[in-house]
Amino acid sequence: MKRWIDDLPQIPFRYRDLPPDGPWMTMEEAGTHLGIGHYHMNALTAVTHRIDMVRTTGKELAVTRASVEAEKHWRTTATVRQKLWRLFKDILKNSL
């Protein structure tokens, strides 16, 4: 499986039928799990691509549990320096 630079799993965006209790969760559930709001969740998925997304065949967005758990683990274990470096890289990447 491909990984991001900061070692989070990368799962390709695609359409698929999602099982009801499978390895997926809605954007709202993921935001609640991470303790962030809707805007920040959208930034993690759309701008920084830290959380992997899939679309159901009904065109609804869902996120992978693996990427949400990896993000939660990174947030709890990363040092302040790592968090600042990640912020700097994201700002630099999105400004170009």
pLDDT tens string 9-60: 565 555 566 666 678 888 888 999 999 998 888 888 877 767 877 776 666 7
Count structural domains, the chain: 1
CA distance 58 to 86: 34
Examine residue 40 and state whether it is found in any structural domain, yes or no.
yes
Higher pLDDT, 77 or 64: 77
Examine residue 6 and state whether it is found in any structural domain, yes or no.
no
Return the pLDDT at 32.
93
CA distance 75 to 39: 17
The structure's pTM equals 0.72
Examine residue 82 and state whether it is found in any structural domain, yes or no.
yes
Examine residue 88 and state whether it is found in any structural domain, yes or no.
yes
CA distance 54 to 92: 26
Strands 61-64 and 53-56: antiparallel
Examine residue 65 and state whether it is found in any structural domain, yes or no.
yes
Examine residue 43 and state whether it is found in any structural domain, yes or no.
yes
What one-letter code names the amino acid at 7?
Answer: D
